[in-house]
Amino acid sequence: MSLDKYITLGRSGLRVSPLCLGTMTFGEDNGWGSSVEESGQILDRFIELGGNFIDTANGYTKGHSEKIIGDHVGHNAAKRDRLVIATKFSSNLYLGDPNAGGSGRKSIIAACEQSLRRLQTDYIDLYWLHNWDVHTPIEETMAALEDLVRAGKVRYVGVSDTPAWKVAQANVIAQFRGWSAFVGLQIEYSLLERSVEAELVPMATEFGLGITPWSPLKGGALSGKYTRDSADRIKPDRTFLVSNALNDKTYALIDELEQIAEAHESSVAAVALAWVQAQAGVTSTIIGARRLAQLESNVKALDVKLTEDDLAHLDGLTKPTFGFPQSMEPFFPAIHNGGTSVNGVQAPPMLIQPGEKPY
């Protein structure tokens, strides 16, 4: 069980551990989460196992998550420099101030300074746009991020929770103007959330963005804690995140995960995480851990080597159905290939039959 098999994030030289420690649960300010003491224990164990990728945000527990990380590693330059600390902007922490959130230049620069202070560091390794701000031109956002990179306050930039077309627009603008482009894409991705495979995943693959999935266990629905038998006895701590996912379809999936887990002498959560890690474009999966024991359990996913049959079986159980234009893609080889095989794809010709000639 080790996290020291590092991967470069997308089309960048930034080396990150295969699992990223998500710290949304650091601090008990929202009525649930890890105490300051246990948050520190989780950080220490993650680092001890070789993990170097830590994800937070200015909005997590009203900034307390960032402060916990800063208090724990900020005083130790050697420890801090070894880590890849990622945080996010977009959240507004100042009631009544419209410019304290979103992706405008004023907001981004102020949020960065505040995060640097809480994290007790001179620079942020990866600065994420947390979610799309429809009121700010993307040129303004990318220019502000480039200023932070040139000032040495940010090393790399990434994007989360934003439509594929907007991410593509942002990166094309950045590339044409010689600015820093997004190197990472943070999206919700799990066996129960695969709509991202329609546009976001192919876009990330094409542009070389490393995918870092969040909620790979669908808020805990695939943790193995919730089963048909326990449905009436165990209520989710974060009801708003889990309850809607607990239905017959999910329980049927959990039944299958239990069988695969038994074959691998593992757990439901580890198998679900291993499936996410095996998906195209995924660099580092974000795992949340409210308790130290959860971290220990989730890291074991790296020891699970799913077979091609395992992956195909799980893929078939939750394969999404997409609308237009993806719904037309199965017909394209017949239209394009003229009955030949192209990159291993062959289909009977749809327009011209053997012996026929076009007009």
Tell me the per-residue pLDDT of 134-176, one tens digit each, with 9 for 90 and over. Answer: 999 999 999 999 999 999 999 999 999 999 999 999 999 999 9
Q: Enter the pTM of the model.
A: 0.94
Catalytic residue selected from 6, 60, 226, 359: 60
Q: How far apart are CA 53 and CA 21, in angstroms?
A: 6
* H or E stretch at 22: strand 19-22
Structure tokens at 267: 């757990």
Please, which pLDDT band fits residue 356 given cuts at 50, 70 and 90? Answer: confident
* DSSP β-bridge partners for residue 126: 86, 156
60 is catalytic: yes
Q: What percent of the chain has pLDDT over 90?
A: 86
At residue 21, the pLDDT reads 98
Domains of the chain: 7-320 (3.20.20.100), 323-359 (no CATH)
How far apart, in whole angstroms, are the C-alpha atoms of residue 53 and residue 292? Answer: 17
pLDDT tens-digit map of 237-256: 555 567 677 888 999 999 99
| Helical packing angle, 308-318 and 268-277, nearest 10° | 90
Highest mean pLDDT of the ranges 88-97, 223-232, 333-342 = 88-97
Give dist(CA 164, CA 206) in Å, integer.
11
The residue type at 218: K
> DSSP secondary structure string, 100-123?
GSSSSHHHHHHHHHHHHHHHT-S-
Q: How far apart are the first and last CA of the chain?
A: 65
- Quickly state the pLDDT bin for 358 (edges 50, 70, 90): confident
Whole-number Å distance between alpha carbons of 220 and 24: 14
pLDDT tens column, 290-341: 899 999 999 999 999 999 999 999 999 999 999 999 999 999 999 999 999 9
